[in-house]
């Protein structure tokens, strides 16, 4: 046994879902660059604890450390790849779109 965790019953699951739903409007209203920083910080924390997380994953699913390490790196791309895309979109080097109007002439 690698440890004990409290049971996450249906009531606790419903509470977590309600909390997530109520937090979503604030998260959605947060500017994209700020959301990217938050997610980037989470990714950096995951990297700081990579060895412990890979060992835990290996114990839980019975794979080798090498297999779990590769899977961990692949999973991190889901954190960092969207951030890089957002940084590109929000970069100061990108062209700025100004107010424009399209007029169709006969």
Half-sphere exposure of 18 (CA within 13 A, CB side): 6
Residue 64 has pLDDT above 90, yes or no: yes
Mean pLDDT of 44-66: 94
pLDDT for residue 1: 63
pLDDT for residue 57: 92
Distances 90 to 15, 80, 102 between C-alpha atoms, Å: 35, 15, 25
- Kindly report, residue by residue over 85-102, the tens digit of the pLDDT: 766 666 655 445 555 556
Per-residue tokens: 86:
């957002």
- Kindly report, residue by residue over 68-84, the tens digit of the pLDDT: 999 999 988 888 887 77
Residue 58 has a CB neighbour count (10 Å cut-off) of 19
Which pTM was predicted? Answer: 0.63
């Amino acid at each position: 046994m690698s440890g004990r965790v409290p049971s996450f019953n249906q009531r606790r699951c419903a509470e977590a879902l309600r909390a997530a739903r109520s937090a979503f409007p604030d998260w959605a209203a947060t500017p994209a660059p700020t959301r990217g920083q938050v997610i980037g910080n989470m990714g950096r924390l995951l990297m700081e604890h990579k060895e412990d997380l890979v060992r835990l994953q290996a114990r839980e699913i019975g794979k080798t450390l090498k297999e779990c390490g590769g899977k961990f790196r692949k999973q991190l791309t889901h954190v960092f790849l969207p951030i890089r895309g957002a940084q590109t979109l929000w970069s100061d080097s990108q062209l700025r779109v100004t107010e424009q109007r399209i007029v169709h002439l006969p």
